[in-house]
A and B are shown apart, each in its own frame.
Chain A
Amino acid sequence: MLKKPMLEIRNLHVKVNDQEILNGVDLKVNAGEVHSIMGPNGSGKSTLAQVLAGRDTYEVTEGEIIYQGKNLLEIKPEERACMGIFMAFQYPVEILGVNNTYLLRTALNAQRKFRGLEPMKPVEFAKLLKEKAKIVQMSDDLLQRSVNEGFSGGEKKRNEIFQMAVLEPTLGILDETDSGLDIDALKIVANGVNAMRSKERAFIVITHYQRLLNYIVPDYVHVLVDGKIVKSGGKELAFELESKGYTWIEEEDRTAIPANA
């Protein structure tokens, strides 16, 4: 039986300032799956995440992205969010003067409106917030502050997962959410993600370190080097990478015959 994937990236080429960063990425993600993308610094991981979320400073020069049967590249970032795509930023933005809770209520109600639902009642929203805040241990203080303003690195990352928990996306993309976290914070973040895993939902977990994958166990691991996925495999690949390092892949990649030669 052929199941249509939730997300299909075909031969994606992306440029920034005339510099090619992604050159021919292919990826298929089905509902219920967790894919991990690993790769050295500067290999294009964040670029891929940003392009999926719709950042227009990245220029797609070739290829396509199909999400839920639709051409994602023609869809505005806010509509992608409404269609269930959520990207947790590697570097969450601080927004002075916009209250964290207010942002979430505005976002949630915008998404509900898109789906033809009424705005959530304030009481209901407060309940939802409280419940989700518990999962990632967000304090009331953080909820009432300006978005990410004066947050520590760990607090920012937890805030991303908290937002994801409230918005309940179909496809969650985590861009190095684990980087810079101590082990306790890492566990909190991983628990938040694991609690959301379901048959209907998929995740792309971008990480630099294998450590996170001890807590969020992926179904597939892909290695991105120089803007191309050079190796894919099961979760064992992550362990292999951890022990041998990225240079192992890079060397192997160099000796391999190019796929489209």
Chain B
Amino acid sequence: MNNIVMQSKESYLEGFEHFEKDSLVNDPTWLRSIRRAAISRFSELGFPTIQDEDWRFTNVGPIVRTPFQLAQNGRIEIDSRELERFTFPGLECNRLVFLNGQYSPELSSIGSRVDVLKLDSLAHALMLDGDLLDEHLARYADFQRDAFLALNTAFMKDGAFVYIPKGAVLKEPIYLLFVSSANASPTVTHPRNLILLEDNSQATIIEDYISLADDVYFSNAVTEVVVGQNSVLSHYIIERESKKAFNISTIRFQQSRSSNVTFHSVLLGGALVRSNVHPVMVGEGSECIINGLFMPTGRQHMDNYMRVEHASPHCDSRQLYKGILDGRSHGVFHGRIIVHKNAQKTDAKQTNKNLLLSNEAQIDTKPQLEIYADDVKCTHGATIGQMDQNAIFYLRSRGISEDTSRVLLLLAFAGESLQRMKVEPIRRGLEEIVTQRFAQGKPLDSVL
């Protein structure tokens, strides 16, 4: 192991000692022991390298080499108006804002109808709801397997805690906004979210990762979601970090009987992004739809790592990922499906379609099926293509400019993914963002 890697690991380990000493007198012992276990696991694992099968296409060297400081709690003041340009017009929601990893009550807005559910910061919930958290926190996302997950678990302190009681049907989405802002030196945050849906409930959750400046920072986020029987969840992660930022996230769904999860992942920003999506269908008859759109450009690197586990009979999963790659960017789609021995009548389908807009852009797409049951339906398919020149000429021959023709075709390609997003303000907002990207910053109306 080379020096820099050693030093980097050491600095996280030292950082942990300070972290533990500094602020944790009040933390429950169960939490402290999880953190300890996690940091020692991190110490054993070290950072992954491209020799690890799961990290074959993603070199985390830039993260390892950057000396990140734990984001300080010293309060940075920001004006809520600074967030305006990131809002999705028309989105009525309960909003929790986290500034450099820490909950900001001033920037958050929680409506009055919240009495049916719990909507809190994890830090606060740890004091208030210790037992409930003890039962669930870090019980699903397995830090034994993954160094970044272990780091997050060791440093977990704040994030969102959402509890939806039995039978509750939320009309408005819960919007979790993670803001990184003005840091003199590179900082790291470890947002940790826990979302519990009791049986027969229904909710929409949106995680959004943004940055107010073009800073170097590292968001290492983990979300655990427990979906009760017969519950319906629609969950979004929108990643639009700064162009220099690093974002590694893991979302872990624990799905009970007949539960239904639709997960949307949109990767737009960041220099190096890794998105781990890990649903486990533990209850019979559950369904999981994973809908992804990633659009790297320049030198961005975006890695989508799926680990879809069928652990029970009669479950359906769908992975539909679309990549639009420009510049010298690199995209990865690694779609692992694991069908456990008892998971008969599994129906799993995986599709990854990619559009390469430049000769230098690169995509690695890899299906990986591990099937231990015998009565299953598992299919996968991947395509890599370029802009259809025949279609462009067809549109131009009708009088539509070349630029607009390209935008139309790209929107059509991305549209397949965007159309699945049922929260209209989010879908429209993303359409606008996608269009602006393709039209070199011109707004939708002026191009079309």
Contacts and interface: CB of A to CB of B under 8 A. Distances in A.
Interface of A: 53-55, 57, 76-78, 80-82, 86-87, 89, 92-93, 95-98, 103-104, 106-108, 110-111, 114, 146-147, 163, 167
Given A95-B409, A98-B409, A110 B391 contact: no
Interface residues of B, number: 24
Contact of A106 (B391, B394, B400, B415): B400
Contact of B408 (A86, A92, A106, A167): A106
Nearest to A169: B399
A97 B400 contact: no
A81 B409 CA distance: 19
Contact of B394 (A80, A89, A146): A89
19 contacts: A53-B393, A54-B397, A57-B389, A77-B393, A77-B396, A78-B396, A78-B399, A81-B399, A86-B398, A93-B391, A95-B388, A96-B412, A97-B409, A97-B413, A97-B416, A98-B408, A103-B395, A103-B400, A110-B400
Nearest to A93: B394
A98 B416 CA distance: 11
Given A87-B397, A89-B394, A95-B409, A76 B416 contact: no
B448 interface: yes
A95 B391 CA distance: 6
Contacts of B231: none
Interface string B261-294: 0000000000000000000000000000000000
A78 B402 contact: yes
A107 B400 contact: yes
B51 interface: no
A57 B399 CA distance: 18
Contacts of B408: 98, 103, 106
A190 to B, nearest CB: 22
A106 B412 contact: no
A77 B399 CA distance: 7
Given A53-B397, A93-B390, A110-B404, 7 more contacts: A54-B396, A55-B393, A78-B399, A89-B397, A97-B412, A107-B395, A107-B400
Interface string B401-445: 110110011011101100000000000000000000000000000
A104 B400 CA distance: 10
Nearest to A163: B398
A80 B358 CA distance: 28
A130 to B, nearest CB: 20
Contacts of A89: 394, 397
B99 to A, nearest CB: 38
Contacts of A147: 394
Contacts, number: 80
A53 B402 CA distance: 14
Contacts of A86: 397-398
Contacts of B390: 93
A88 B148 CA distance: 57
A162 B395 CA distance: 15
A161 B363 CA distance: 40
Given A95-B409, A97-B416, A82 B395 contact: no
Contacts of B416: 96-97
Q: 4 shortest A-B CB distances, which residue pairs?
A: A97-B412, A81-B399, A107-B398, A93-B394
A106 B404 CA distance: 9
B412 A95 contact: yes
Contacts of A98: 395, 408-409, 412
A81 B404 contact: no
Given A97-B412, A106-B404, A110-B404, A82 B399 contact: yes
A133 to B, nearest CB: 17
Contacts of A104: 398
Contacts of A97: 409, 411-413, 415-416
A162 to B, nearest CB: 12
Given A95-B412, A97-B413, A97-B415, A107 B399 contact: yes
Nearest to A99: B412
Contacts of A54: 393, 396-397
Given A97-B415, A106-B404, A81 B397 contact: yes
Contacts of A110: 399-401, 404
A114 B404 CA distance: 14
A89 B398 CA distance: 11
Contact of B448 (A77, A106, A146): A106
Contacts of A111: 399
A111 B402 CA distance: 14
Contacts of B448: 106
Contacts of A80: 397
Given A98-B408, A98-B409, A103 B391 contact: no
A78 B448 CA distance: 14
Contacts of A114: 399
A169 to B, nearest CB: 10
A86 B398 CA distance: 7
A111 B399 CA distance: 6
